[in-house]
Amino acid sequence: MNKALRQAVIAGNWKMNKTRPEAKALISELIPLVKDAGCGVVICVPYTNLETALDATKGTNIKVGAENCHWAESGAFTGEISAAMLAEMGVEYVVIGHSERRQYFGETDVTVNKRVRAALNAGLKVILCVGELLEQRESGITEEIVGMQTKVALGGVTKEELKNIIIAYEPVWAIGTGKTATAEQANEVNHYIRTVVEKLYDKEAADGITIQYGGSMNAKNADELTAQPDVDGGLIGGASLKAPDFAAIVAAASK
Ligand code: PGA
């Protein structure tokens, strides 16, 4: 498996943080720090910050993403946002299936798949999150869980469409806990996901897909994690809220 065949991407996941003025300030600070990045740079922000982020990043190398989208094009879904609405704004990426959506908002592998397909149909690029719970890791079923999440989420997705998908492996026990998977653990599961993609599609698809690691990645551990052969950048929560920290992770993934 050859890292040169795919792009490393560092994506920030701001979650439910930052007002518009705060978002503007953070992006202004970030722009000069990441302008020479040797990897893709994405910030996924709350819906209320999308317009601000799109304006502030115009003409820069920072791409903008949302943190979720609904599967229907429009309709009676109070509180939801469609993929078409995001695409029309100029949003390029969307995070789908984050473990917080699965844990707190009843997201299932099936609804993740519906959202993935809707996002792709609208022309968005997807950051698809998969990952096991601590009990699942301790029961020795990490591969089964992550394999099933990946397979169901990619149902009906063609090889051509797969080019618009990034997979983020995020062990749930490592998210926001300060407990990072070791570089070996991250690489092992990322590699496994790549074998799942190879079985579903082919070697070319598996070699080409960007598979990130996420879960307490920070300025200190980013070097070791992003140096792993199957880790193509990361999805960054907490550390994406501070420009110098996020920039340090981008620098690590640019090596
Ligand atoms: P964290 O979050 O970096 O704060 O652990 C990662 C994520 O949830 O994407």
- Please tell me the distance from the alpha carbon of residue 34 to that of residue 246, in angstroms, as a whole number: 9
Going from the Cα of 202 to the center of ligand 1, the distance in angstroms, rounded, reads 30
170 tagged catalytic: yes
Q: If DSSP codes are grouped into helix, strand and coil, which group holds residue 54?
A: helix
Between the alpha carbon of residue 64 and those of residues 12, 201, 224, the distances in Å are: 10, 28, 26
Q: Is residue 3 part of a domain?
A: no
Going from the Cα of 65 to the center of ligand 1, the distance in angstroms, rounded, reads 15
From 100, 107, 132, 170, active-site residue: 170
What confidence tens digit (pLDDT) does each residue in 236-251 have? Answer: 999 999 999 999 999 9
Strands (E), 97-228: 125-130, 165-169, 211-214
Enclosing domain of residue 131: 9-242
191 tagged catalytic: no
From 67, 98, 107, 132, active-site residue: 98
Q: Is residue 34 part of a domain?
A: yes
Q: How many domains does the chain have?
A: 1
Q: Which ligand 1 atom minimizes the distance to the CA of 13?
A: 9
What confidence tens digit (pLDDT) does each residue in 172-230 have? Answer: 999 988 888 899 999 999 999 999 999 999 999 999 999 999 999 999 999 999 999 99
Going from the Cα of 189 to the center of ligand 1, the distance in angstroms, rounded, reads 17
Q: Is residue 29 part of a domain?
A: yes
- Please tell me the distance from the alpha carbon of residue 119 to that of residue 22, in angstroms, as a whole number: 28
Q: Is residue 155 part of a domain?
A: yes
pLDDT, averaged across the chain: 97
Question: Can you give the CATH number for the domain in which 131 is found?
Answer: 3.20.20.70
Q: Is residue 1 part of a domain?
A: no
Does 1 have pLDDT greater than 50? no
What confidence tens digit (pLDDT) does each residue in 120-157 have? Answer: 999 999 999 999 999 999 999 999 999 999 999 999 99
Q: For residue 179, what pLDDT is reported?
A: 85
